[in-house]
A and B are shown apart, each in its own frame.
Chain A
Amino acid sequence: MTDTAEHSGPMMAADGTPLKTSLNRALRRQKLRALMLIAPLLIFVLVTFIAPIADMLFRSIENQIVSDTLPRTTAELADWDGDSGELPGPAIFESLYKDIFIAQERKLHTRLGSRLNYELTGVSSLFRKSGRRVDDMGEVYQDQFEDLNSFWKKGENWNALLGSDSWMTAQSSWNEDSGSAQPAFEIRAELSALLPETAATYAIFADFVQNEDEDNLLSEDPWAIVYSALYEDLSAGADVSGYSGPGATELQEAAALAADFEVVDFTAAFEDIDEDWHNIEVWQTIQTYSPEFTSGYFLNAVDMKKGLDGAEMRPENEQLYIKLFIRTFIMSMAITCSCILLGYPVAWILANLPARTANLLMILVLLPFWTSLLVRTSAWKVMLQQQGVINDTLVWLGVVADDSRLALINNQTGTIIAMTHILLPFMILPLYSVMKTIPPTYLRAAKSLGATNWTAFWRVYFPQSVPGIGAGSILVFILAIGYYITPELVGGTTGTFISNRIAYHISSSLNWGLAAALGAILLAVVLGLYWAYDRIVGIDNVKLGG
């Protein structure tokens, strides 16, 4: 016999393992089974709902497009002082030339233009225009090299010069129709050290031809920027005299004569394309949006922008979103309040009628759920318009004059009326199920204690129905704040919500980053309200029934 009273330390199960371990083991199977049961739904929700939402929200800060498209320019712009009022130096314009050249080959420059156009109007057309004309700029060098020696005209000569010997052998024996992969281009190590810029640029060209165009590199002539890169290397004083591989003679000849080449002034050339390139604001914008992550979308979503000294308000006439947010909140509150006012008495009646009658009335409450949302909203259009049923009736009754019919639709009134109607069941149902659990004896008790009908209701019944009001309000408010179809159809211009703006940016302006930022703010505000509600009322006080 063991004396359990003297036993110290953790409790032990019969087989000597600690009781906790033993219990956990016993529960694990149960937990595992529970997890298996919810797994399909969980995976479905994660894959189709949570992950896309997370991805969308990520877009609100993501800004890699600028540094991805203009890698050289943004790197060099980091040292440029935008406040000085001076244009960036020629080196930056040269980088810009290379970046835009590569970008237009890859057809990415228009996307970057659209992106930057959100921040500064006009950038989109600037980039499109530059993309078209940037080709001509480098041809100055190309022509000079080609005039010097026809060797430079041929792509195969370039390949022989810059490609490694082993790669050339492989590439020459590669059969385009064989279906096997094209041997990846390999730079000649010797030249990579001597002519770093040329090697790097040619590598980009080779990669583009082989992998994006999927053409045979041997039959392609190089881009104009390869010539500019070669000129850059040679004029920087690259010593190619020691090189003895293929094309050594031509390279040494070019090196000797390059000093006499006509030099392209990229700064002037860009001004020639569009004088906006000499607008300091454009450069400030590119610099501001160089980092991979930006708060720009969020600032934009609250009517601010990135200025020289950090965030600043947009001009009065460009402010839109704060007003829309406030309108969305005020109208959602108005809808919630009118739902409470209309729903409370109905719920009370339902909860206090005999079950048979209550069920019949409940069907009437639920009826809207069985009708399409669009049908109901369209019905309101018919009812509320100036020549609609309500106005006709009021005119017929003589309440309003025929020439001063009420404007009930395409404004806030219309949105509030239609949405109150649509969301009313979401208020009545939780109210009803909470009221159902309040026994009538409480009211009797209050009256027997001397309370009048009103006091009994207000001091005893109402506080107990607050959880229902809370649940209904949260439900209605959160649904209302994100509502889209009804405000779109009956809201006109003054009765639309922030969600309509988000939809516009998703489907029309394609500014997904801004849409994501607006959505993220909406989500944060709703969560914040939920938290505040929890602190003030307590989430335990929210009952959907029982």
Chain B
Amino acid sequence: MADTSNADAFVEFERVQKSYDGENLVVKDLNLFMPKGEFLTMLGPSGSGKTTCLMMLAGFETATHGDIRLDGQSINNIPPHKRGIGMVFQNYALFPHMTVAENLSFPLEVRKMGKSEREEKVKRALDMVQMGAFGGRRPAQMSGGQQQRVALARALVFEPELVLMDEPLGALDKQLRETLQFEITNLAHDLGITVVYVTHDQTEALTMSDRVAVFDDGRIQQLAPPDKLYEEPENSFVAQFIGENNTLEGVVKEIKGDSCLVQLDGGELIDAKPVNVTAAGDRTRVSIRPERVEYNKDRLSPDAHTLKAEVLEFIYMGDIFRTRLRVAGTDEFVIKTRNAPDVERLKPGQQIEIGWLPEDCRALDS
């Protein structure tokens, strides 16, 4: 699963399990290897175990079983304050009774750093997040975005090699979130730090990360770079969870190398790429991204299988058109087309035929 070898791993989870009540496993057999300098995002629905993993790495939860290693050293028995891991929290967790400068100075003080050195580092860290003028403010006197910038600076000021971020942008509005996503990524790459980022926002995960680990049910469902994750989901959970997705259910009729024929439950035949179906007769769920569906016959290969569709709804969204269709018994089939001069705007009630390239349609587990 991991495409990084064990040897240069900076953060390692090896067969880690976690249970809170002794009956249910919140984290089931987690194996993860991260090289130094990587920006890895743990993405998943709530209750999927991603935050627990982060807390185990930070030292606030202990693993029930397995080994967590940092830079080759097992940290299972090292208390959080000795791990030297920076952390950014969702609610910022800036100490309300201290000024911004005092907040940043705190990790340096507990490391018994001299006053002048402290001041210099605090100033540099604040400048880094464009908050140089706010040193004397209290957290309550700043906006959410400013607070999160300060929290980021505080997590970085003592120069940790690993920084954990627990849904740091969850409480911010969309525009601010996008600006900060960009800033955090840049900062992480400029400083060369390793980042483990937890979020349930898939856009955030895709735009920021080097690799994304999709969590569900206490397991990593897929660990891959964003493009691979989006275009080549390995199972139907990932396909559903990441981005918008159309699914059709059916049975594999035959597999021919890179391509297979799937008979949908309504009897229609379509081409798909076998991903985790192994033999003819397997039930499958095929997944097609809305933007990969084609209804202009000229662009489809002549021998491609097509499906009849009825336009139910046409939504103008500015840069794209979103069209809902009735296809093979489902009313929820969505296609997206770019707003371009040569693109036909479909009308509700219109009968069309749709098709796709076989490699865009992935036959996954059912």
Query: Which A residues from 421 to 460 make CB contacts under 8 A with B?
Result: 439, 441-442, 444-453, 455-456, 459-460
Instruction: Tell me, yes or no, whether A144 is within 8 Å of chain B by CB.
Output: no
Q: Once the chains bind, are B60 and A449 in contact (CB under 8 Å)?
A: no
Specify which chain A residues have a CB less than 8 angstroms from the CB of B89 in the assembled complex. 441, 444-445
Cα A446 to Cα B102 in complex, Å, equals 12
Cα A448 to Cα B154 in complex, Å, equals 11
Instruction: Tell me, yes or no, whether B107 is within 8 Å of chain A by CB.
Output: yes
Query: Which A residues from 215 to 239 make CB contacts under 8 A with B?
Result: none
Tell whether A447 pairs with B80 under 8 Å between CB atoms, given A455-B110, A459-B106: yes
Instruction: Tell me, yes or no, whether B96 is within 8 Å of chain A by CB.
Output: yes
| Residue in A445, A455, A463 whose CB lies within 8 Å of B87 | A445
Q: Once the chains bind, are A450 and B107 in contact (CB under 8 Å)?
A: yes
Instruction: Tell me, yes or no, whether B85 is within 8 Å of chain A by CB.
Output: yes
Instruction: Tell me, yes or no, whether B355 is within 8 Å of chain A by CB.
Output: no
Instruction: Tell me, yes or no, whether B111 is within 8 Å of chain A by CB.
Output: yes
Q: Once the chains bind, are B110 and A449 in contact (CB under 8 Å)?
A: yes
Shortest beta-carbon distance, A457 to chain B, in Å? Answer: 12
Instruction: Tell me, yes or no, whether A117 is within 8 Å of chain B by CB.
Output: no
Specify which chain B residues have a CB less than 8 angstroms from the CB of A455 in the assembled complex. 110
Cα A455 to Cα B107 in complex, Å, equals 11
Cα A270 to Cα B96 in complex, Å, equals 78
Q: Once the chains bind, are A445 and B93 in contact (CB under 8 Å)?
A: yes
| Residue in B81, B154, B155, B158 whose CB lies within 8 Å of A447 | B81
Number of A residues with CB within 8 Å of any CB on chain B: 19
Q: Once the chains bind, are B96 and A449 in contact (CB under 8 Å)?
A: no
Q: Once the chains bind, are B93 and A450 in contact (CB under 8 Å)?
A: no
Q: Once the chains bind, are A439 and B158 in contact (CB under 8 Å)?
A: no
Query: Which B residues from 206 to 262 make CB contacts under 8 A with A?
Result: none
Residue on A nearest B55 in the bound complex, by CB = A444
Cα A444 to Cα B84 in complex, Å, equals 13
Q: Once the chains bind, are A450 and B58 in contact (CB under 8 Å)?
A: no
Number of B residues with CB within 8 Å of any CB on chain A: 26
Specify which chain B residues have a CB less than 8 angstroms from the CB of A463 in the assembled complex. 95, 97
Tell whether A444 pairs with B91 under 8 Å between CB atoms, given A449-B107, A449-B158, A450-B110: no
Query: Which B residues from 276 to 315 make CB contacts under 8 A with A?
Result: none
Cα A450 to Cα B60 in complex, Å, equals 13
Query: Which B residues from 77 to 101 make CB contacts under 8 A with A?
Result: 79-87, 89, 91, 93, 95-97
Shortest beta-carbon distance, B83 to chain A, in Å? Answer: 8
Specify which chain B residues have a CB less than 8 angstroms from the CB of A456 in the assembled complex. 81
| Residue in A439, A441, A448, A451 whose CB lies within 8 Å of B85 | A448
Residue on A nearest B163 in the bound complex, by CB = A448
Q: Once the chains bind, are A451 and B81 in contact (CB under 8 Å)?
A: yes
Map CB proximity to B onto A166-186 as digits: 1 under 8 Å, 0 otherwise.
000000000000000000000
Tell whether A439 pairs with B81 under 8 Å between CB atoms, given A448-B86, A449-B107: no
Specify which chain B residues have a CB less than 8 angstroms from the CB of A442 in the assembled complex. 93, 95
Shortest beta-carbon distance, A435 to chain B, in Å? Answer: 14
Cα A464 to Cα B95 in complex, Å, equals 9
Residue of B84, B85, B95, B155 most packed against chain A (CB within 10 A): B95
Residue on B nearest A448 in the bound complex, by CB = B87
Cα A11 to Cα B94 in complex, Å, equals 42
Q: Once the chains bind, are A450 and B84 in contact (CB under 8 Å)?
A: yes
Specify which chain A residues have a CB less than 8 angstroms from the CB of B58 in the assembled complex. 444, 448
Residue of A441, A448, A451, A460 most packed against chain B (CB within 10 A): A448
Q: Once the chains bind, are A444 and B95 in contact (CB under 8 Å)?
A: no
Tell whether A448 pairs with B80 under 8 Å between CB atoms, given A439-B91, A441-B91, A464-B96: yes
| Residue in B91, B95, B111 whose CB lies within 8 Å of A450 | B111
Specify which chain B residues have a CB less than 8 angstroms from the CB of A445 in the assembled complex. 87, 89, 93, 95
Tell whether A444 pairs with B60 under 8 Å between CB atoms, given A439-B93, A450-B81: yes
Residue on B nearest A438 in the bound complex, by CB = B96
Specify which chain A residues have a CB less than 8 angstroms from the CB of B111 in the assembled complex. 450
Residue on A nearest B58 in the bound complex, by CB = A448
Shortest beta-carbon distance, B52 to chain A, in Å? Answer: 14
Map CB proximity to A onto B57-89 as digits: 1 under 8 Å, 0 otherwise.
011100000000000000000011111111101
Cα A208 to Cα B303 in complex, Å, equals 132
Shortest beta-carbon distance, B287 to chain A, in Å? Answer: 38
Q: Once the chains bind, are B97 and A464 in contact (CB under 8 Å)?
A: yes
Residue on B nearest A464 in the bound complex, by CB = B97
Query: Which A residues from 447 to 493 make CB contacts under 8 A with B?
Result: 447-453, 455-456, 459-460, 463-464
Shortest beta-carbon distance, A499 to chain B, in Å? Answer: 37
Q: Once the chains bind, are A450 and B158 in contact (CB under 8 Å)?
A: yes
Shortest beta-carbon distance, A542 to chain B, in Å? Answer: 15
Specify which chain A residues have a CB less than 8 angstroms from the CB of B59 in the assembled complex. 447-448
Q: Once the chains bind, are A444 and B106 in contact (CB under 8 Å)?
A: no
Shortest beta-carbon distance, A231 to chain B, in Å? Answer: 85
Cα A450 to Cα B110 in complex, Å, equals 6
Cα A449 to Cα B95 in complex, Å, equals 12
Cα A122 to Cα B80 in complex, Å, equals 78
Cα A442 to Cα B91 in complex, Å, equals 10
Q: Once the chains bind, are A441 and B93 in contact (CB under 8 Å)?
A: yes
Residue of B60, B84, B155 most packed against chain A (CB within 10 A): B60
Specify which chain B residues have a CB less than 8 angstroms from the CB of A452 in the assembled complex. 81, 110
Cα A163 to Cα B107 in complex, Å, equals 99
Query: Which B residues from 132 to 169 make CB contacts under 8 A with A?
Result: 154-155, 158, 164
Specify which chain A residues have a CB less than 8 angstroms from the CB of B85 in the assembled complex. 448
Specify which chain B residues have a CB less than 8 angstroms from the CB of A451 in the assembled complex. 81, 106-107, 110
Shortest beta-carbon distance, B56 to chain A, in Å? Answer: 13
Cα A190 to Cα B89 in complex, Å, equals 101
Shortest beta-carbon distance, B157 to chain A, in Å? Answer: 9
Shortest beta-carbon distance, B207 to chain A, in Å? Answer: 26
Shortest beta-carbon distance, B30 to chain A, in Å? Answer: 21
Shortest beta-carbon distance, B159 to chain A, in Å? Answer: 11
Query: Which B residues from 110 to 124 make CB contacts under 8 A with A?
Result: 110-111
Specify which chain A residues have a CB less than 8 angstroms from the CB of B155 in the assembled complex. 448-449
| Residue in A441, A444, A460 whose CB lies within 8 Å of B80 | A444
Specify which chain A residues have a CB less than 8 angstroms from the CB of B87 in the assembled complex. 444-445, 448-449
Pairs of residues from A and B, 9 with the lowest C-beta to C-beta distance, nearest first = A449-B107, A445-B93, A448-B87, A447-B80, A441-B93, A463-B97, A447-B81, A451-B110, A450-B110
Between-chain CB contacts (< 8 Å), 25 pairs: A442-B93, A444-B58, A444-B89, A444-B93, A445-B87, A445-B89, A445-B95, A447-B79, A448-B58, A448-B59, A448-B80, A448-B83, A448-B86, A448-B155, A449-B81, A449-B106, A449-B107, A450-B82, A450-B110, A451-B81, A455-B110, A456-B81, A463-B97, A464-B95, A464-B97
Besides A442-B95, A447-B80, A449-B154, 20 new A-B residue pairs in contact (Cβ under 8 A), listed by A number: A441-B91, A444-B58, A444-B60, A446-B106, A448-B59, A448-B81, A448-B87, A448-B164, A449-B107, A449-B110, A450-B107, A450-B110, A450-B111, A450-B158, A451-B106, A453-B81, A455-B110, A459-B106, A463-B97, A464-B96
